[in-house]
Structure 1
Amino acid sequence: MKRRHRVRSAAGILAAGLILTGCAGGENREQASSRDGGVHAPDAPGFEAPRPDESAPGREDAAEGEQRSPRPAADYLSTFALDVDTASYGYARRTLAEGRLPAPESVRPEEFVNSFRPDYPRPEGDGFSVTLDGARTDEEGWSLVRVGLATAAAERRGERPPAALTFVVDISGSMAETGRLDLVKESLGILTDELRDDDSVALVTFSDEAETRLPMTRVKGQRERIHGIVDELATTSSTNVEAGVRTGYDVAVEGHRKGATNRVVLLSDALANTGDTEAQSILNRIDEERREYGITLFGVGVGSEYGDAFMEQLADKGDGHTTYVSTTEQARKVFVDQLPTNIELRARDAKAQVAFDPKTVERFRLIGYENREVADEDFRNDRVDGGEVGAGHTVTALYAVKTRPGRTGQLATATVRWLDPKSRAPHENSGSVTTSALTGSLWAPGHDSLQLTAVTAYFADRLRGGELPGAPRLSVLAERSGAIADRSGSKVVRELTEAIRQADQLLGREGGGESGDPYSG
């Protein structure tokens, strides 16, 4: 297998337009570890210390006939599983709108960034395009480097593979709050009308115990029956997520359809209080069914109090992703506008590895993805779990990079590896960027796409107490975001702007606003 290379010029990328389609989002994959999020010495966690005198060893594990680039010293590699979750951003927006700051450990920058979809080039067929660009920040020597990955758009409604969806619905007492079970029922009603006749659905509910309300059933001729079962759902008792997920996977295995997208869709506030509330045994079961049957998990979070970390762990182990909804509009976006994205797969077990050139890079830091880290040596180990990515998705990774003064040339090469969703054959694609991409200022006119990525990453990092180099104050971030919203007319960017302003006001009330702001740059 030969690698396919696509190298994009920075000028062309920075001039690209924006497709700003914000997604609803939810929370933590394994609960982000507490940290100050700031810039540290090279030997601190999150940074790679270069070793200029160390030669880069070549790879010795290449398959016969496969071309491999020389592997740089380990200190210059950054490897992570792809993540298209957006729940952390959606939940943060809700808490800020309610006058509360989100818990720092619930803030995952990659989910803020990936809630917006830059207009990266799209590949043909399955797999990814690879796009890199960057610009200088306001702090001397520091730049932002963006790695953008994109999958091909979804097929038309009638051309995607059929879906076999098992809905696992939380009907525990905590779901009685407005905006929980009522929103779930509305969402399922919307989805029932959107599914094709050749799709199949099953429905499992859980409180203290789990119950199968509908075995796997073809949608054709059964829509009224499905609507009736959904309409009858009512809350009761405690929350045994373990029972619900276990039963849901039992039903999904029993109704497994070869050639279809088999998925468990968990709709819950994820506030487990009965059964196994630590999730580990559930995680083992999910992993087993994912590997044997290809059944993946899609978590949809609801509620003003939401067990983000729990839901994120389940989705990660289930090779799926999470989102968060709090309004009918968001539910419609997830279950109508993004339905093909959430059903039609483009890649399984996808990972990315970015190699920085020690001749031009002094140090770097990946912003976010702490819970998605993969050992560098496991990048091409296809037994190590990666991320599942659907049609029409984009994945963005943003790096804070300190370059060596006066050095020019190669800056970084990014490679993405994935398994074909049908054959599970491995594929790779790469792209690279040079220091010439960093000649312009991040905030110069014409860089709206990169600026929006920077604003969302800086915003998330502030919320969790970080101090990224070159980060403006929140008030300035709100101005930058507002200007992008004015130029693009984007509603989702206006929502981002409002969230940043709300955070700035809340921090000010706690003595951390513009005057003496501990989060200020």
Structure 2
Amino acid sequence: MKRLTGLSKLALVTLGVVALLVATVSLFGNNIRKLFGAQAEALVGSEYSGNGGALASRQFQRKSLKTFGDNSADGDSYAAPAPAAAPAPRSVAARKQVAQLAERAEPVTTGNTHAEERPNPFTLTSEDRFSTFAVDVDTASYTLFRRYVTEGGLPPDDSIRVEEWVNYFRYRYPSPEEGDFRVDLEGAPSPFTPGRHLVKVGLQGRVIAKSQRKPTHLVFLVDTSGSMSSPDKLPLAQKAMKLMVDGLNETDTVALVTYAGSVRDVLPPTHAIERSEIFAAIDALTSGGGTAMGDGLELAYRHAAKKANPYSVSRVVVLTDGDTNLGRNLTADAMLANVQGYVQEGVTLSTIGLGMGNYRDDLMERLANKGNGNCFYIDSEREARRVFQERLAGTLEVIAQDVKVQVEFDPATVRGYRLLGYENRAIADRDFRNDKVDAGEIGAGHTVTALYEVELAGEGANVAMVRVRAKRPGGVEAAEQRFSLARTQLHGSLREASANLRFAAAVAGTADILRGAPQAGDWSLATAEALAEGAVDDMSDRAEFLSLLRTVRERRATSVAGGPY
């Protein structure tokens, strides 16, 4: 072999260094982007200019992981993302696409917690004036918080979902005069961040009387594995099912399937008037064995699909501590893949979480999201009565599906904004009018509330245009409504705002503080307590929240003083 010259050696070393740099940037490019911003993105081929050449600063954009994009300037048509290989400067839509693809490459937690959901960033309207999300009526996160506090602790940060805290409570919004729901808009100076405002978007679903409900066909799927033996699990599930049966109409039907080490058909579809027969089957349940959740879910869906049609409600109700260690399907994705066809036929899903210790909050929420359903956590017979008796119509009957909300902030009035919560309900802006994209459901009588923190700028007259898009149950095409929030509609002070806004702000602020949201770093639980105290409005659930908040504050004060909390 010929001996290399000095120049050749230098060339080889140079090539090796370049290769190492390329590999390093490729491997750690996402972290580099987080540390150094848009200029570091250029190192991995992601330098953009758009909207007048301004570089995007939103490195933590939380849009849909399914599809990407942004609205065009007129708000009614959409610009497709730029091709990945295009050498020319890319659009805002392309920036969003690359940011999200980078996030998808990050490790995802597969244990008993959610993959990390970063709180939504403060976004400049000059870069993205649209905020799009699916509605959420789940409440499990708040109920889990209540149980942790009652037992002397705090929930894990990643189990705190702001929207589920806010939407746990009732809000006195005007009822819809026509259609399925009505939108209530309001704004006032923020109690947390000087110089900013809070904007509330509230939806009120129409109420359905018991006599007006569609025929209902329920399939209870009950976890009877050994982990369900404690009093706060199977015995509480049995009480919850009885409460639900008591609220059904006589011609509604109930079937019962259980799963442990194997799956068992316990009760065929039986009319609710046969309560003694249904209750006897429920009372006979015992716990023991492993947990074949995936197999049980598939069988329950198969039963429910037999009754599915546009003129009735066909729903699977899963009652479990969420632990799954046996069966052919061990993940939410795998389980839902097997029953996706049933979902498309119109079968809906309710996941009911019970107990502590091995409770899989992440699994319950993901199943409900993918199953066109709702997710609850039952910590007491009182909560079972609330979900299955007082709010039965909303739990059972969907009045609008694939409900999306898009808020377009006017850059002439709003410098920037931040949506509190809904991180895992984000939808790509361009998919707002894509009726094939799945979104959330609203049940009869449900309220949905979202809060934005906004910073006003300029002298524009309009704050935001709120668009709501939804389908009728079983429908294919969605209808769209628009609602405008003018600057003159903003309250001059927080005292002038409704109790709805003030209480929602207290709850959202508390959740943001406890989950450690960076944007809530200077926020105060004392401020949240004062807000809640002045907005209880003679409602027992609000009074309970105030009591829990005071308990948390006392324990945190003890911890700061050197105590055990």
TM-score normalised per structure 1 = 0.82
**Residue 440 (structure 1) aligns with:** 492
Secondary structure class of the residue paired with 2:210 = coil
Match among 426, 432, 445 for residue 392 of structure 1 = 445
Matched, 1:56 2:73: yes
Q: Point out the structure with the larger helix share.
A: 2
Q: Could you tell me which of 207, 213, 216 is aligned with 1:160?
A: 213
Structure 2 residue 478 is the aligned partner of structure 1 residue 461:
no
Contact 1:100 1:506 in 2 (8 A): no
Cα 1:350/1:74, change in 2 over 3 Å:
farther
* Other structure's SS at 1:465 match: coil
Q: 1:470 to 1:99 in 2, by over 3 A?
A: closer
Instruction: Check conservation: 2:435, 2:477, Cα contact below 8 A.
Output: no
Per the TM alignment, residue 194 of structure 1 is displaced from its structure 2 partner at its CA by 2.0
How far 1:117 moved relative to its partner?
A: 2.2
User: How many angstroms does 1:229 deviate by?
Assistant: 0.4
- The correspondence for 2:204, drawn from 133, 150, 167, is 150
Check the 8 A contact 2:505/2:528 in 1, yes or no.
Answer: no
Q: Which residue of 2 aligns with 1:377?
A: 430
Match of 1:45 in 2: 60
Structure 1 residues 145, 334: CA separation in 2 closer, same or farther (over 3 Å shift)? same
Q: Does 1:133 align with 2:186?
A: yes
Counterparts in 2 of 1:416-435, with a 5 A limit? Answer: 416-435=468-487
Structure 1: which amino acid aligns with 2:370? K
Q: In the alignment, what sits opposite 1:511?
A: 560
Matches within 5 A, 1:59-74: 59-60=76-77
Partner of 1:14: none
Alignment of 1:29-428 (within 5 A): 43-45=58-60, 56-57=73-74, 59-60=76-77, 75-124=128-177, 126-138=179-191, 139-154=193-208, 156-220=209-273, 222-256=274-308, 259-275=311-327, 276-291=329-344, 293-305=345-357, 306-404=359-457, 406-428=458-480
**Cα RMSD for the two superposed structures:** 2.7
Decide whether the 8 Å contact of 1:95 with 1:102 is kept in 2.
Answer: yes
Structure 1 distance, partners of 2:528, 2:237, is 34
Task: Give the corresponding residue for 1:490.
Answer: 539
Residue 525 of structure 2 is matched in structure 1 by: 474
Which letter does structure 2 place at the counterpart of 1:367? L
| Distance in 2, Cα, partners of 1:499 & 1:287 | 39
| Larger Rg computed on CA atoms | 2
* CA positional deviation for 1:462: 1.0
User: TM-score normalised to the size of structure 2?
Assistant: 0.76
8 Å contact 1:458–1:471 — kept in the other structure? Answer: no
Q: Provide structure 2 residue ranges, at least 5 long, that are not aligned to the other structure.
A: 1-55, 64-70, 80-124
Cα separation, 2, equivalents of 1:277 and 1:125: 44
Post-superposition CA distance 1:474-504 (Å, at most 9, x none): 133223323333xx22211111012212222
| Mapped contact 2:132–2:404 kept (Cα < 8 A) | yes
- Distance in 2 (CA, whole Å) between partners of 1:125 and 1:244 is 41
Which residue in 2 is equivalent to 1:17? none
Summarize the Cα distance change of 1:122–1:447 in structure 2 as closer, same or farther, 3 Å threshold: closer
Instruction: Using CA pairs under 8 Å that are at least 6 residues apart, name the structure with larger relative contact order, 1 or 2.
Output: 1
Distance of aligned partners of 1:214 and 1:510 in 2 relative to their CA distance in 1, 3 Å threshold: same
Q: Distance in 2 between matches of 1:429 and 1:286?
A: 32
1:367–1:400 contact (8 Å) kept in structure 2: yes
Give the total of aligned pairs: 456
What displacement does 1:426 show? 1.7
* 8 Å Cα contact 2:399-2:443 kept in structure 1: yes
The alpha-carbon distance between structure 1 residues 232 and 314, as it changes in their structure 2 partners (threshold 3 A), is same
| CA apart distance, 1:421 | 1.5
Gaps of 5+ in 1: 1-40, 49-53, 63-71
Paired position in structure 1 for 2:117: none
Task: Give distance in 1, aligned partners of 2:223 and 2:158.
Answer: 25
SS of the aligned residue for 1:379 comes to helix
In the aligned structure 2, how far is the partner of 1:394 from the partner of 1:258? 24
Deviation at 1:422, TM superposition (A): 4.9
Amino acid of the structure 1 residue aligned with 2:160: V
